Structure 1
Amino acid sequence: MTTEPSPSLEIERKYDVDAGAPLPDWAALPGVARVGEPEPRDLDARYLDTADGRLAAARSALRRRTGGPDEGWHLKQATPEGKLETHWPLGEGDGDAGDVSTTSTTADADAPTLPAAVIEGVAGLADPPFVVLARIRNARVAYALYNAAGGVVAEFVDDHVTALDVRRGISSSWREWELELGPAAPAEAPQRAALFAAADALVTAAGGRVAASESKLGRALGV
């Protein structure tokens, strides 16, 4: 059974990069003493909304994702401070008809059954039925960025994304980077801004740029 949800606030920066872009030296960021070992993750997510897009209208997104340390259901809501994410881990019997290995668009369009806890969690935004908007697969390599005391200042991920806009039947692929603040990140806004400004400079030097789309889902749907 799906357990109680856990909320968290994501403060992050996303970058568009070319396939051959070299990784920046993230140890050059202020407050970062060393970069952790690479951690590969294979992620597979289906994004859902009502047919009339009520979640999108509320600047929210709902997905069911397998793979990685936080696999499960995620509700992301845009706030002035960052993205408020509510996470429900996968539970026994929480199946997904499209989890089998396939490239069939029929399987991609099969909406997973929402557990009661997730339906309750999105009730203030939208009610069933939900349809699948997109399926996004991501070959991710994650790196923890540590301060001198061993605290995680941020997590950097190098993503190779393959997406399917289910309703239009349009596939796309791209590479992007993401830098998300961790528990040892600066607490004050000016210091956080300085950290992101330094990150922007490192990415620019590597040939990247701040992402044109604020989310993978938005890019997959062309919005």
Structure 2
Amino acid sequence: MAETKREIERKYESDDSGLPDLTGVAGVASVLDKGVAELDATYYDTSDLRLAAASITLRRRTGGSDAGWHLKLPVGPGVRDEIQAPLSDTVPDELAGLVRSRVRAGQLVAVIRLRSDRDVRDLVDEGGQLLAEVGVDAVRAERLFGGEGTAQWTEIEVELADGGDPAFLDTVEKRLRKAGVRPSKSASKLARALAETAPRRKRPKAATEPGDPVTAGDHVMAYVRAQRDAIVELDPAVRRDAEDSVHDMRVATRRLRSTFRSFPKVLDRTVTDEVGAELKWLAGELGVGRDQEVLTERLTTALDELSATLVSGPIRERLNSWAGAGHGGSRRRVLGVLDSKRYLTLLDTLDALVADPPLQKAAGRKPSKVLAKAVRKDFGKVSALVEEAMEQPPGHDRDLGLHEARKKAKRTRYAAETAAPVLGGPAKGLVKSMKSLQSLLGDHQDSVMARQTLRELSAVAHAAGESSFTYGVLYGREEHRAAVVEAELPGMWASVRSGTDI
């Protein structure tokens, strides 16, 4: 099984003078010489270096205290999650899965071999507690694919101890800078090796970001590109079952689909409708487990708030069993989806759409009028749905109407997010208003779904000869919560309408 650790480190350029004296660094009581380790690492990537382009590294390394397979995923500047797996001749399936959203139908090949002599020092405090590990690495790089170049250099690497305060690295850096040592120009050894071993005639140009948005199409595509990137980047987190990762990926798919529907004058819907249908499928698959998680948390919290006198029968055990069974099944289902040909094809389709967007005539126009008109149209649909729903008597039709209004509020919010860089304050205000409306109506819909679940669980409990009293208590409280939302809605909506100026 692979293990994960959070790696926080900094790299520095070094000449042959070795490591400056660090005994005077605040908090450091001793600098312990741990000897020299011989490391031999082979890095894997696609032939067009997709992992390197995303600052992801996958290697097989021998030597040192952590020999094995290492996959490093970027978290932030100088921070990566390192997933480790035991040594084997081929890439472990779990690690291969975590890079599948990048590799897709491509093949992983050995691209770089790095051999390093690492002179290791431990920085420890008065109690002997490790603060950081410092290594002076003499590196020899050899190109294995896409060239035959070699390179060598020396660098200093400072890695924070597990659970350490990142501010300690600032203290170490001050001492290193004072001694003339400067931060490395390369983010990683692999990045430097790729740059220095590439054939001179084929050395890639530095990656360029799209220019500042100018037209309506530029702004819409900037938003589309950001959501495409979010889906791909969240894939490993979803596979690892990281907190909120499924929710965040689902939101990205919804943002994309909403954008296609909100801006038909910018992007041709004869092309985007088919992509939107696939995004709807993906969101639906991701939502199976997520919806149950939300309901479980809601019902568990409500049960915890009841006094002991109102809890009758094994309701907590039945609720836990229902939640556990659902999570296990949905988890397997999500992993199957992420490994499916349909999902990987969708990612390819999104890449193609970003590379060659199906722009309409309005895409070339100034963005203020085009985007504002689309946002106003979406807001008008929300307005009509809210007012129509509130005209219905409490019950099924009102519940359904408010649910539709909530979905349109999300769409309007996402359209306003797209337009915010152009329209400024009014669009940002609408984003905030729609988020509040979405939250209020979301609480109402959660109450609707909670009551449905309580009815189902109560029927099962009754058939098993258990008391259904507590299910009824919880059901009544959910009815009350929905009524409170419905009472608050007219006032909120009046405020939203009066404050909207787009």
Report the TM-score, using the length of structure 2 for normalisation: 0.37
**Residue among 42, 63, 79 paired with 1:67:** 63
Larger relative strand fraction: 1
Q: CA RMSD in A?
A: 1.9
- The secondary structure found in structure 2 opposite 1:183 is coil
Q: Which residue of structure 2 lines up, in the alignment, with residue 53 of structure 1?
A: 49
Query: How far did 1:138 drift?
Result: 0.3
Task: Work out which of the residue numbers 172, 187, 202 in structure 1 matches 2:151.
Answer: 172
Matching of residue 221 in structure 1 with residue 194 in structure 2: yes
Deviating above 3 A after TM superposition, structure 1's stretches of 4 or more consecutive aligned residues are: none
Match of 1:118 in 2: 95
- Structure 2: which 5+ residue stretches go unaligned? 196-205, 207-502
1:154 equivalent to 2:132? Answer yes
Higher relative contact order (CA 8 A, sep 6+): 1
Once the two structures are superposed, residues 60-94 of structure 1 have per-residue CA deviations (whole angstroms, 9 ceiling, x without a partner) of: 1101111111011111111126111101021xxx2
The answer as to whether partners of 2:125 and 2:131 remain within 8 angstroms in 1 is yes
Please tell me the residue identity of whatever aligns with 2:172.
A
What's the CA shift string for 1:133-160, capped at 9, x where partnerless? 2110000011111111221110000100
- One-letter amino acid matched to 1:144: D
- 1:201 pairs with 2:171: no
Are the equivalent residues in 1 in contact too, given 2:36–2:118 (CA < 8 A)? Answer: yes
Aligned to 1:8: 5
Q: Does 1:85 align with 2:87?
A: no
Contact (CA 8 Å) 2:42, 2:113: kept in 1 or not? Answer: yes
Partners of 1:196 and 1:115 in 2: CA distance? 33
Q: How big is the shift at 1:211?
A: 0.6
**Identical positions, percent:** 37
CA distance in 1: counterparts of 2:103 and 2:23, whole angstroms: 43
Specify the SS of the correspondent of 1:208.
Answer: coil
How many residues are treated as equivalent by the alignment?
193
User: Structure 2 counterpart of 1:207, which letter?
Assistant: G
- Point out where structure 1 has 5 or more consecutive residues left out of the alignment: 96-112, 187-191
Query: Does the 8 Å contact 1:136/1:162 carry over to 2?
Result: yes
Deviation of 1:54 after TM superposition, in Å, equals: 2.5
In structure 1, distance between residues paired with 2:33 and 2:163: 18
Q: Distance in 2 between matches of 1:87 and 1:16?
A: 27
Counterpart secondary structure, 2:107: coil
Shift of 1:184: 5.7
* TM-fit CA distance, 1:26: 1.9
SS at match of 1:79: strand
Shift of 1:129: 1.7
Aligned partner of 2:452 in structure 1 is none
Asked whether the 8 Å contact 2:142–2:150 carries over to 1, the reply is yes
* Deviation (angstroms), 1:6: 0.7
Equivalent in 161, 164, 174 of residue 185 of structure 1:
164
* Distance change in 2, residues 1:22/1:62 (3 Å): closer
Distance in 2, Cα, partners of 1:205 & 1:38: 25
Q: Is the 8 A contact 2:6 2:162 kept in 1?
A: no
- Do structure 1's residue 44 and structure 2's residue 40 form an aligned pair? yes
| Normalised TM-score (structure 1) | 0.79
- Given that 1:23 and 1:206 are in contact with CA atoms closer than 8 Å, whether structure 2 keeps it comes out as no
Aligned match of 2:392:
none
Equivalent AA in structure 2 for residue 164 of structure 1: E
Asked if the contact 1:49–1:55 (Cα under 8 Å) also holds between the matched residues in 2, the reply is yes
Q: CA deviation at 1:212?
A: 0.6
Whether the 8 Å CA contact 1:17–1:207 is kept in 2: the answer is no
CA contact (8 A) 1:153 1:184 kept: no
How far does residue 29 in structure 1 lie from its aligned partner after superposition?
1.9
SS of 2:33's equivalent in the other structure is coil
Q: Distance in 1 between matches of 2:124 and 2:163?
A: 8
- Give the residue type in structure 1 aligned to 2:11: K
